[in-house]
Amino acid sequence: MTEEHSTLFDRYDIQISNTERRNSSIAIQDCYIVYLIECRLKANKEDESICVFRRYSDFETLRNYLVAKYSWVIVPVLPEKTISHTWSKSHQDRTSVEVVERRRVLLERFLQHVCAHPTLSADSAVQTFLLQNDGWKHIVDTSHVLNKSESLIPSFKLNLMQHERTKDKRFLDAYQYAIDLNNVLHNVLRARAKLADRIFLYYQSHNQLGRLFSEWSTTEDKLGDSLQRAGHFLDSFAGQIEEYLHEEDALMDFLKHQASYCDVIKSVVEKHEQLVEDNSKQETTLGVKRTQRDAYATGKMNFSVNALKSKLFGENDQTRYAKIETMDSDINDAVLHCQNADIRVKEFNKNALIELDFYKTMKEEQMREILRSYCLLQARIAKAALKSWTNIRDSFSNGQTPI
Amino acid sequence: MDDPLSRALREDEQGISNAHENGQSTPNVADSDCLENASSLSISHSHNDWILPSTNERREEVEVNEEQIKIYVGDPKKHKSNLDSFITYLVTTQTYNDGVQINETNVRRRYNDFVWLKNLLDVKYPFNIISPLPVKHTLSKKLHVVADDGEFIRRRMNGELNKTQKSELVFHFRKCSGLQNFLRRIINNPVISIDPSVQLFLTADDEALHSAQQQPNPTSPLTPQMTSSTSNPFRQPIGRGKPIPSEFSRTDNQIQTLQDNLRKLERLSRKIESDQIAIHTEEEHLLSTFKQWLDTERKYDENDSLVETVCNAEQKIVDNQDDLLRTTNTKYIEPINEHVLFTGIVQDVLKRRAQFSDNVTAGNNEEMFDQLTIANETIKADVQRWTEGKDKELMDLFHSMANKKVDFYTQSVNAWEQAAAKLSTPTNQR
C-alpha cells in the first residue's frame, strides 16, 4: 500500500547533474542546451541511475500538460524563458555558462517539487519523462488535454472577474493578492537592478582613485608610503564588487521564481471561476426546462405557434403525454448535469484550497530563505568593504605602533 | 590608539606659538623658533615615551612652559545696515599657559575684514606663504553638478529651491572652518603672528579696525619696480649661476606636481560623490518598493514580519548613507580644494622670489643681495613648515574620510546581520 502512495521524490534521488550544448543544425547559432536528469533509486544506492537528456522546451511542454490536466493544482514554475531584471548586459546571452548553471538549479527544483506532489508524481507522463527516453511526448499528445478549449482567452478571463460570479472570498482574495504581490515583486526587482548598476559604477571610480594614489605616491616623501598602501587597498576594494553583484543577480532568480507563482495562482482561481459559471449555467438551464415543462403540462402555453400546431395537427392526449415524458427525461438529464457540475466545483474547490494552503506555507518558507540569503549577502559585501576601508584608513594613521 | 595621537599632534601644529599678546619672544629668534617648531614634534614624541600618556593630559604636558593660542571662527550671523547686508563671524581667541586659559577675546568680523588682512599681509610679507581664504560664493559648487541623471538634478534643485535660506546659512557655516584654518596658520607662523595688524584683527573693536583699514596700505619691502614685474607671467625664473635657484626650481616642480595631483583628486572626489548620491537615490527607491511589498502583505493579512525585517535594515542603510553624504563635501572635498589654492600661493611666492633674484643680479646691489638672502631663508623655512603642515593635514583628511567609511560599513554589517538573525528563527505559525 505504501508503495502506491509514495511519490517519485520518496523513491528516487533526482538530480540534474550536467548540461550539454547541442546543435540543431550545422549553423553555429542554432545551438541549444540539454540537461541531464539522473534518477537513482533511494532504496538501492548501488543501482545505476537512469539518465535522460531534456531541453528547456521539453520542460515547458510537460508543464503546460500538467497545468491543463490538473487545473486545481498549483504546478511548480519553471525558470524564466528570457532573462529579466539583470544588472549586467552579459547575462542576456542565454547560453553563457553562468546563465545555464542558474537555470539548471531552478529546473532541478522544478522536478523535485513536481515529484514531491502526490497527484503530479503519479502521472504517467511525468514518470516517463524522468525514467524513459521516449514515450512521454506521446502520452502528452494523446491526452488531448492541451488541445482542449479549456484554455481561456485573456479577455474572457477578465470578464469573469468583473461579473464576480463567485462569492467565495478566499478565491477572490487569493486572486487579488497574487496580482498585487506580482506587481510589488517586479518593482523590487527593477529597483535592485538599477541600484546594482550604480553600485558597480561607484566601485569603478575607486579603481581610478587607487591609480591616482599609486602614481602620486611616487612623488611624495612622507606621504608616499601611505598613499601607495592606500592605493593598493583601493584597487582591491574596487575589484570585490563584481563577484558579489553576480551572486546577487542569481539570488534574484529565486525572487522571480516566487513572482511566477502569482500567475499560477491566478489561473487556478480563473479555473474555479469557470467551473462556478458552468455550474450556474447548468442550473439556469435546468430551471428553464422545468418551467417550460410545467407550463406545457398545465396547458398555460401562450405561444401562438404551439396553439396553432395542436389545432393543425390535431394533438391529442397521447402525443401530449409523450411530449411531457420526453421533457421529463430531458430534465432528469439536466439534473444529472447539474449535480455533476456541482460535484466538480466542490471537488475543485476542496482540492484547490488544500493546494493554496500548502502553497502559502511553502511560499513563506522560501521567502524567508530568500530574504535571509539577501541579508547575509549584503552583510558579506559590507564586511568586505569594511575590511578594505579599515586597511585604507590604517595606511593613513600617524602612529607607528600597530593597534 | 592612533586617533588621540594624531589629534594631539594636530593641536600642536595649530596651537604652538612662541608669540602671544605679552610679546615674550622677539622677532630675531624667529628662525630658530621655526626650527624648534619643526623638531618640536620629535621632542614631543620622546616626551611621550617616558611620560605616561593619558589622553587629556598629553596635550598640556607637551606644551610645558609654552604659550598656546587657540582660534575659533563660528556663529555666522546676518547683519543689516543702512547701505547693505552682510554676514559676520565670531572670532574667538583663547590664550593658554600650561593648559590654563588666561585670556579670551571675542570679536565679530566680516569676510571683507579677512580679505583686508590677507591683502595687507601679502604685501608686507611677500616671501611668506600665507594661507588662502575660502571662496566667497558657492559658484564652485554649482559648477560640478555634472548631471548624468535627471533625478540627480531634480533632487538637488528641489533641495535647494525649498531651502534657499537654510542652504545659505549652511554655506556660511562651511566657510567658518576655512576662515578658521586661515587664522590658525597665520598664528602658527612666528613672524606673522606678531604683526600688529594681526593683533588688531583679533582683538580690536569695530571702530579701531575701521580706522586702521582707512589708512593707506603699508609699503612693500619690494621696490615698485619689482612688484610690477612680478605680475609679468612670462618672465622665466632662470638661475644665473647662483647655487640656490636650482633648489628652488626643484621645489617649484614638486609643487606643480602636487598641484596637479590635488586637482585630479578633487575632480575624482567630486565624481565619487555624485556616484554616491546616485546610489543613495536608488537605495531610497529600493526601500520604497520594499515598503510597498510590506503594505501588500499587511493588506491581505499575510505574515509581514519577514519583509518588515528587511525594510528596517534597508531603512538604516539609507539613513546612514544620508549622514555620510552630508559631510562628504564640507569635510573632505572643500579642504582638498583649499590645498589646491594653497599650492597656487606657494607657486606665487616662488615666482616672486625668482623675480627678485633676477633683479638683484641685474642691480648688483649689496643691500638687495642681503634682502635676497633673507628672503631665501624665509621661503625655505616657510616651505618646510608648509610641507609638513600639508603632509599632516592630508594624512588626517584621508584618515578621517576613511574612518567615516569604516563607521558606515560597520553599521551596515550590523544592520544586515541583525536582520539575517531575525530571519532565521522559525515562525510561530507552524
Per-residue pLDDT tens digits for A95-107 = 678 888 889 999 9
- Asked whether the predicted pLDDT for residue A322 surpasses 90, the reply is no
Tell me what the mean pLDDT of segment B69-95 comes to: 82
Tell me what the mean pLDDT of segment B317-332 comes to: 86
- Asked whether the predicted pLDDT for residue B121 surpasses 60, the reply is yes
Please write the tens of the pLDDT for every residue from A53-75. 999 999 999 999 999 889 889 99
Mean pLDDT estimate for chain A: 84
Of residues A47, A36, A44, the one with CA closest to residue A108: A36
- Asked whether the predicted pLDDT for residue B139 surpasses 90, the reply is no
- Asked whether the predicted pLDDT for residue A40 surpasses 80, the reply is yes
Q: Tell me which of 2.60.40.10, 3.40.50.2000, 1.20.1270.60, 3.40.190.10 is the CATH number of domain B244-430.
A: 1.20.1270.60
Which pLDDT does position A91 carry in this prediction? 59
- Asked whether the predicted pLDDT for residue B295 surpasses 80, the reply is yes
- Asked whether the predicted pLDDT for residue B335 surpasses 50, the reply is yes
Confidence band for A84, pLDDT divided at 50, 70 and 90: confident
Q: Is A177 an 8 Å CB contact of chain B?
A: yes
Would A353 be classed as within a structural domain? yes
Which pLDDT does position B247 carry in this prediction? 75
Write out the residue range of the structural domain in which residue A243 sits.
159-302+310-402
Which pLDDT does position B377 carry in this prediction? 87
Report how far residue A44's alpha carbon sits from residue A323's, in angstroms, rounded to the nearest whole number.
68
B278 vs A198, A209, A222: nearest CB: A198
Contact between chains at A222 and B264 (C-beta distance less than 8 A):
no
Contact between chains at A382 and B313 (C-beta distance less than 8 A):
no
- Asked whether the predicted pLDDT for residue B152 surpasses 70, the reply is no
Tell me what the mean pLDDT of segment B353-369 comes to: 81
Tell me what the mean pLDDT of segment A295-309 comes to: 65
- Asked whether the predicted pLDDT for residue B157 surpasses 80, the reply is no
- Kindly state the cell numbers that stand for B328: 562628504
pTM beyond 0.80:
no
Please write the tens of the pLDDT for every residue from B213-244. 777 766 666 554 444 444 444 444 444 444 44
- Kindly state the cell numbers that stand for A80: 524564466
Q: To the nearest whole angstrom, how far is the Cα of B176 from the nearest Cα of chain A?
A: 26
Would A261 be classed as within a structural domain? yes
- Is the CA virtual torsion A95, A99, A100, A106 positive or negative? negative
pLDDT above 90 covers what percent of chain A?
Answer: 39
Which pLDDT does position B240 carry in this prediction? 46
Q: To the nearest whole angstrom, how far is the Cα of B425 from the nearest Cα of chain A?
A: 10
Which pLDDT does position B272 carry in this prediction? 92
Q: Angle, nearest 10°, between helix axes B366-424 and A222-297?
A: 30
Which pLDDT does position A311 carry in this prediction? 63
Which pLDDT does position B379 carry in this prediction? 87
Mutate one of B265, B268, B325 to test the A interface: name it (highest A CB count within 10 A): B268
Confidence band for B416, pLDDT divided at 50, 70 and 90: very high
- Asked whether the predicted pLDDT for residue A273 surpasses 80, the reply is yes
Would A154 be classed as within a structural domain? no
Q: Is A150 helix (H, G, I), strand (E, B) or coil?
A: coil
pLDDT above 70 covers what percent of chain B?
Answer: 68
Contact between chains at B409 and A393 (C-beta distance less than 8 A):
no
Confidence band for A196, pLDDT divided at 50, 70 and 90: very high
Confidence band for A4, pLDDT divided at 50, 70 and 90: low
Tell me what the mean pLDDT of segment B130-155 comes to: 54
Contact between chains at B268 and A205 (C-beta distance less than 8 A):
yes
CB B198 within 8 A of CB B105: no
Q: Is A367 an 8 Å CB contact of chain B?
A: yes
Contact between chains at B261 and A392 (C-beta distance less than 8 A):
no
- Asked whether the predicted pLDDT for residue A379 surpasses 60, the reply is yes
Please write the tens of the pLDDT for every residue from A123-177. 989 989 988 888 888 888 887 766 554 444 444 444 445 555 557 888 888 999 9
From first CA to last CA, the distance across chain B in angstroms is 51
CB B320 within 8 A of CB B280: no
CATH number of B56-221: 3.30.1520.10
Which pLDDT does position B167 carry in this prediction? 60
pLDDT above 70 covers what percent of chain A?
Answer: 85
* Structural domain spans, chain B: 1-54, 56-221, 244-430
Which pLDDT does position A150 carry in this prediction? 47
Contact between chains at A176 and B303 (C-beta distance less than 8 A):
no
- Asked whether the predicted pLDDT for residue B46 surpasses 50, the reply is no
* Residues from chain A contacting residue B420 (CB–CB below 8 Å): 372, 375-376, 379
Confidence band for B84, pLDDT divided at 50, 70 and 90: confident
Would A74 be classed as within a structural domain? no
Which pLDDT does position A310 carry in this prediction? 64
Would A11 be classed as within a structural domain? no
Would A65 be classed as within a structural domain? no
Confidence band for A318, pLDDT divided at 50, 70 and 90: confident
User: Hey, which residues 81-110 in chain A have their CB within 8 Å of chain B?
Assistant: none
Contact between chains at B268 and A198 (C-beta distance less than 8 A):
no
Burial of B364 (0-12, 13-18, 19+ CB in 10 A): exposed
Give the number of domains in chain A.
Answer: 1
Q: To the nearest whole angstrom, how far is the Cα of B318 from the nearest Cα of chain A?
A: 13
Q: Is A179 an 8 Å CB contact of chain B?
A: no
Nearest-by-CA chain A residue for B279: A198
Tell me what the mean pLDDT of segment B134-157 comes to: 49
- Asked whether the predicted pLDDT for residue B29 surpasses 70, the reply is no
Weakest-pLDDT range from A277-291, B147-161, B313-327: B147-161
- Asked whether the predicted pLDDT for residue B15 surpasses 50, the reply is no
- Asked whether the predicted pLDDT for residue A5 surpasses 80, the reply is no
pLDDT above 90 covers what percent of chain B?
Answer: 19
B2 vs A187, A199, A397: nearest CB: A397
Which pLDDT does position B426 carry in this prediction? 67
Confidence band for B134, pLDDT divided at 50, 70 and 90: confident
Weakest-pLDDT range from A207-211, A372-376, B105-109: B105-109
**CATH number for the domain harbouring residue A337:** 1.20.1270.60
Q: To the nearest whole angstrom, how far is the Cα of B68 from the nearest Cα of chain A?
A: 23
Weakest-pLDDT range from B79-93, B290-304, B387-401: B79-93
ipTM: 0.84
